Amino acid sequence: MYDKVPTGLDRKETEVYRRLDPARLPKHIAIIMDGNGRWAKRRHLPRVAGHRAGVTAVRSTVETAARIHIPALTLYAFSEENWKKRPKSEVGFLMSLLSRYLKAEVPTLNKNNIRLEYIGRQHELPEDVQERMAWAREATARNSGMVLTLALNYSARSELVDAFRSMVNAAAQNGGLAHLQIDEDTVGRHLYTRNLPDPDLVVRTSGEMRLSNFLLWQLAYAEIYVTPTLWPDFRGLHLLEGIAEYQKRERRYGGLNHGDGHAPLETSSALHERKT
């Protein structure tokens, strides 16, 4: 379908990329990385070995997404529930893995023009991790390519609670609660993701069919792609396969059947006007 292939894709990635329509790539892909523990268990390794192997998957996925010019990629790295429900030693390992990843990866992020962002209640993370996160964000802040957002200590319900609190505080400072206007745009402007488009595609690895408290507001119209591949085995190639599947789907946004596979919201009203 497309002859010009971005540089840096390997042979198999190139094969899948050629089947894609570059004009209809998702603008924002969100990924629920799952299956690290099962990957390790199958190899009779400790769970943390799965997390360590998961970093290789992160690297490959991020690089491929940037190479094909996906504007935004969001990775669900640690949920609020992860903190509360996992042994302290595993949480500690994940924290140090994140810290090491950030330190090691900043040069590659810069080379690929990737800007790093975070969503989640960062202030509850260990201070040294917060410092490393701030450093990495600052070190990549001037990049103008893909925005890589890491969801850390993230929960969609907490995000909504924080958004409602922020709306009330803003109204209180701007003339009082009588001026509080609540509509979808206002809520969107107070979410952690206020500077990002809603994801068009959400990928979940390891075969689980749940959203697990991830971007509940923002995923309202997203296509869901679930792959049985466990996260440590996931690579850029799998991401491209997910995008190929996404492009086969017809996005309707609650509207009519448009047949072109990529109808924006306005199209349903345009159709309606033509009929009436």
Interface positions with ligand FPP (CB under 6 A): 33-38, 51, 54-55, 58, 75, 77-78, 82, 97-98, 101, 150, 231
- State the maximum Cα–Cα separation within the chain, in Å, rounded to a whole number: 65
> Does the annotation mark 143 as catalytic?
no
**31 or 263: CB nearest ligand FPP:** 31
**137 or 252: CB nearest ligand FPP:** 137
CB of 125 to ligand FPP, least distance (A): 13
Please give the angle made by the CA atoms of 180, 184 and 189, to the nearest 5 degrees.
Answer: 75
> Which listed residue (3, 21, 82, 198) is catalytic?
82
> Does the annotation mark 169 as catalytic?
no
CB of 35 to ligand FPP, least distance (A): 4
Contacts of 46 (CB under 8 A, 6+ apart): 40
CB of 181 to ligand FPP, least distance (A): 37
**199 or 232: CB nearest ligand FPP:** 232
> Which listed residue (3, 10, 21, 34) is catalytic?
34
**87 or 254: CB nearest ligand FPP:** 87
CB of 53 to ligand FPP, least distance (A): 8
CB of 173 to ligand FPP, least distance (A): 35
If DSSP states are collapsed to H, E and C, what string results for the chain? CCCCCCCCCCHHHHHHHHCCCHHHCCCEEEEECCCHHHHHHHCCCCHHHHHHHHHHHHHHHHHHHHHCCCCEEEEEEEEHHHHHHCCHHHHHHHHHHHHHHHHHHHHHHHHCCCEEEEECCHHHCCHHHHHHHHHHHHHHCCCCCCEEEEEEEECHHHHHHHHHHHHHHHHHHCCCHHHCCCCHHHHHHHCCCCCCCCCCEEEECCCCCCCCCCCCCCCCCCEEEECCCCHHHCCHHHHHHHHHHHHHCCECCCCCCCCCCECCHHHHHHHHHHHC
**37 or 120: CB nearest ligand FPP:** 37
CB of 32 to ligand FPP, least distance (A): 8
**17 or 154: CB nearest ligand FPP:** 154
Q: Which residue is nearest to ligand FPP (CB)?
A: 37
User: In whole angstroms, what separates CA 275 from the centre of its chain?
Assistant: 38
Contacts of 97 (CB under 8 A, 6+ apart): 51, 52, 55
Positions marked catalytic: 34, 82
